[in-house]
Amino acid sequence: MERDILTTLAQIRHPFLIRLHHAFQSADQLFLVLDYHRGGDMATQLAKFHTFSPERCRLYAAEILLGLQELHSLGILYRDLKPENILLAADGHIVLTDFGLSRQFPSAENMDDKRTRTFCGTAEYLAPEILRSEPYTYAVDFWSLGTILYEMVEGTPPFYETAHAEMYRRIMEDDLEFTPAFDPITRDFIKGLLRKPSSQRLGTGPNGPTLIRSHPYFAGLDWSDVYHKRIRPEYVPQLRSETDLSNFDRDFLVMTPRLSPVSNPDIYSDAVQEVFQGYSYINDSSNFTYSLISGDDNDEDDDDDIIRLDGDRRRSVGIYSDDYSGSDIRPDDFHPGSRDDEGFSTVTPPHHHPYPQTLF
């Protein structure tokens, strides 16, 4: 499922969704070659700064929203939106990654009619309907967005408890509470995203995309500018090289790179191998190639060393849109603003006061 989702996304090359270059396999390993984004992830940024400014929160929320709406338009339910899965690119814009828990429905038609029941996700960002084991749909992703925006403003998720059982109870039963860190417009927006009845949640329903992007929280924002990354991010990572690792948590950097261990090669029967027919993929729009041949270059017969690319080779059709993809709001006519000499938007956000530092 993850491979199929990534190949779907590779064909559209959305600015806020990770891009797959290659998928291939050996006799007992599966490989995905993805973009490397040097800015680290949002979880590391929250650990470093604790909270973000109103302008930073708003731009991140807008970019995440466009990524989610693109996924939903393709019939993809994300299910694991969390700070660890929100990367920062070298230019400071966000990229959503990790679709290992995602579900792709056969068709994107009648989006709110597509439902599943699998209990999965990350504890702090689970929607009430998942915890109640009810059938759920794309509304769970908007709940996760509301939880993350709350965390960006306050420094902690809204219903957080160290004991998962108590946190789950709070998600399902407790009222949403706000500190003075939240201005009225931000409070109203988050309340809309964190409505416990999923049918009432902001972003859902036939007019959901229009209503959520028209919320006063995004007033003055040109959605075409957001999509084309013409709004200068407040934070841009300081990078020393193409392979700079300084923006990643040290816990990851000290880990030894290794392939997943193969406990018993005998389990990879012909029937198991058939499941992965068609797994291999080459993105024709990728601008790099590399050898899939391992072993001694002096071997007379390299056939045994080649990682084979058998099966269906689905290729990217190389779609590059000059307009905001799938927009039902005319971006250039909605809250138009001016731009500076470098082409960045100069629209002033509706929030001007600094948030007080949250103390624990």
CB atoms closer than 10 angstroms to residue 143: 27
Per-residue pLDDT at 323: 36
Whether 304 is a known active-site residue: answer no
Residue 15 lies in a domain: no
**Average pLDDT of span 129-154:** 96
- Express each pLDDT in 173-217 by its tens digit: 999 999 999 999 999 999 999 999 999 999 998 889 999 999 999
Q: How many domains does the chain have?
A: 1
Residue 256 lies in a domain: no
Q: Which H, E and C letters describe the chain, residue by residue?
A: CHHHHHHHHHHHCCCCECCEEEEEECCCCEEEEECCCCCCEHHHHHHHHCCCCHHHHHHHHHHHHHHHHHHHHCCEECCCCCHHHEEECCCCCEEECCCCCCEECCCCCCHHHCCECCCCCCHHHCCHHHHCCCCECCHHHHHHHHHHHHHHHHCCCCCCCCCHHHHHHHHHHCCCCCCCCCCHHHHHHHHHHCCCCHHHCCCCCCCHHHHHHCCHHHCCCCHHHHHCCCCCCCCCCCCCCCCCCCCCCHHHHCCCCCCCCCCCHHHCCHHHHHHCCCCCEECCCCCCCCCCECCCCCCCCCHHHECCCCCCCEECCCCCCCCCCCCCCCHHHCCCCCECCCCCECCCCCCCCCCCCCCC
Per-residue pLDDT at 303: 34
Q: Is 31 exposed, middle or buried (0-12, 13-18, 19+ CB in 10 A)?
A: middle
User: CB pairs under 8 A, 24+ apart, for 99-102?
Assistant: 99/1, 99/2, 99/5, 99/6, 100/2, 102/1, 102/2, 102/5, 102/71, 102/76, 102/77, 102/78
**Of the listed 4, 28, 80, 91, which one is catalytic?**
80
For residue 261 the two structure tokens come to 């261990």
Positive or negative CA dihedral for 221, 204, 78, 195? positive
Per-residue pLDDT at 301: 37
Residue 132 lies in a domain: yes
Residue 355 lies in a domain: no
More confident residue, 111 or 319: 111
Per-residue pLDDT at 242: 86
Residue 273 lies in a domain: no
Res. 289 pLDDT band, cuts 50 70 90: very low
Residue 340 lies in a domain: no
CATH number where 155 lies: 1.10.510.10
Residue 165 lies in a domain: yes
Residue 114 lies in a domain: yes
Per-residue pLDDT at 349: 35
Q: Go through the chain and tell me how many residues it has.
A: 360
Q: By residue range, what is the domain housing residue 47? A: 38-243+326-333
